[in-house]
Amino acid sequence: MHVDPGEARSAFLGQMDLLIGTAAGLSDEALLAPSRCTGWTVSEALVHVHQGLQEMLLGCVSHTDAPPDTDAASYWRDFTPTGTPDIAGIQFVRRVAAAYERPSAVLKHLTPTIDGVRAAVLTFTPSAVRFQGHVLPWGDFLATWAVELAVHHLDITTSPPHTPALLLARRTVETLAGAPLPPTWPDETVVLLGTGRVSPTPAQRAESPAVARLPVLG
């Protein structure tokens, strides 16, 4: 699954701006509410997003002429859900979040990181990047992050993600599942099923055999 760099950049930046805008509108009480991420509140999920974007910056400066070995879908095979929670990872994020005096203080660190990521993305000359032991084309690299942020948008709020990013997330789920899911199913439903955020109903299992291959995204 390859994604055009311009398409991926637009989806990523649009989703990133929507996510931070949504998070900034949440009260401390709302930030303390459970997210869809196992073991994390909304503010803890945002700490995870912050850590991820900091790591993304490393990819943005890791240009390479090496041939890509991973695309926008196959990247996720390293993170296929196992059904066993990553307790150490959950605890680490919770401890970092607990260091903030108030849940909303997370945004004071997240906002400048987002500004740095935006600047890096807008000035990058499309090529390939090294990231987490793989080489990805620039468009595919950005697409994985558009998907990551769309999923976490669904984790922290009931408002819809940025449409282009959500469509990339659905496309990724269906590519990894090896088959399209029913077009009548909303994109959010497909992504929530594909990430294991919700379990399929008996009716969904009967309608689509591909549901048995889910979840496929961590």
In a domain, 17, yes or no: yes
Q: What residue numbers bound the domain in which 57 lies?
A: 5-165
Average pLDDT, the chain: 95
In a domain, 75, yes or no: yes
The pLDDT confidence band at residue 84, using thresholds 50, 70 and 90, is: confident
In angstroms, rounded to a whole number, what is the distance separating the alpha carbons of residues 5 and 147? 14
pLDDT over threshold 80, residue 32: yes
Mean pLDDT of 109-128: 92
Among 117-126, 134-143, 202-211, where is mean pLDDT lowest? 117-126
162 backbone dihedrals φ, ψ, rounded to 5°: -60, 125
Q: 164-197 in b/e burial notation, b at 16+ Cβ within 10 A?
A: bbbbbbbbbbbbbbeeebeeebebbbbbbbbbbb
Residue with tokens 């990521």, as numbered in its chain: 117
Residue with tokens 């299992």, as numbered in its chain: 205
What's the domain count of the chain? 1
The pLDDT confidence band at residue 142, using thresholds 50, 70 and 90, is: very high
In angstroms, rounded to a whole number, what is the distance separating the alpha carbons of residues 211 and 90? 27
In a domain, 193, yes or no: no
Task: With H, G, I as helix, E, B as strand and everything else as coil, classify residue 34.
Answer: strand
Confidence (pLDDT) at 83: 79
Task: Retrieve residue 195's tokens.
Answer: 């990430």
| Domain CATH number, residue 94 | 1.20.120.450
Q: State which amino acid sits at residue 72.
A: A
In a domain, 92, yes or no: yes
Task: List, in sequence order, every residue forming a beta bridge with 41; answer none if it has no partner.
Answer: 34
In angstroms, rounded to a whole number, what is the distance separating the alpha carbons of residues 181 and 164? 18
In a domain, 57, yes or no: yes
In angstroms, rounded to a whole number, what is the distance separating the alpha carbons of residues 83 and 111? 32
Confidence (pLDDT) at 80: 82
In a domain, 123, yes or no: yes
In a domain, 34, yes or no: yes
